[in-house]
Amino acid sequence: QVQLAESGGALVTPGGSLRLSCAASGFIFIDYYMNWIRQAPGKGLEWVAYISSSGNVIQYADSVKGRFTISRDNAKNSLYLDMNSLRAEDTAVYYCARDRQVYTSSQFDFWGKGTLVTVSS
């Protein structure tokens, strides 16, 4: 069965850096576009970043552009989010999610359980 498992969340001070990982299993990872979505405490969902199946097409939300980098290692069935210059407003649960259809952008049919990032001094 499809499984996505995020890791790497932590408490970090403002201006700091963090790398999140998402381990995928139960499907052919290289066939699917992947995403990061976040949810601040008590708030709604915010899409953060997207990467195509080969990794050659990437998109970011304006709120993280220039600070966050999405990447993937298809040999390791893993998705990553490198976060730099972290701010208090980046505090959130971060989810990785899979696009529903192969080789195209669509809705997100499988999500991980999320990992909490807290940015505070």
Partner 1 sequence: AIQMTQSPSSLSASVGDIVTITCRASQGIRNDLGWYQQHPGKAPKLLIHTASSLQSGVPSRFSGSGSGTDFTLTISSLQPEDFATYYCLQDYSYPRTFGGGTKVEIK
Site for partner 1 in 77-96 (CB under 8 A): 95
Q: Residue 102 interacts with partner 1 (CB under 8 A)?
A: no
Using CA atoms, how far residue 3 sits from 26, 30, 73, 81, in Å, is 6, 15, 16, 18
- Least separation in angstroms between residue 43's CB and partner 1 is 9
How many residues interact with partner 1 (rule CB under 8 A)? 21
Q: Which of 12, 34, 51, 60 binds partner 1 (CB under 8 A)?
A: 60
Q: Residue 40 interacts with partner 1 (CB under 8 A)?
A: no
Non-local (6+) Cβ contacts of 22 within 8 A are 4, 5, 6, 7, 34, 36, 78, 79, 80, 81, 96, 112
The contact set with partner 1 (CB under 8 A) reads: 35, 44-47, 50, 59-62, 95, 100, 105-109, 111-114
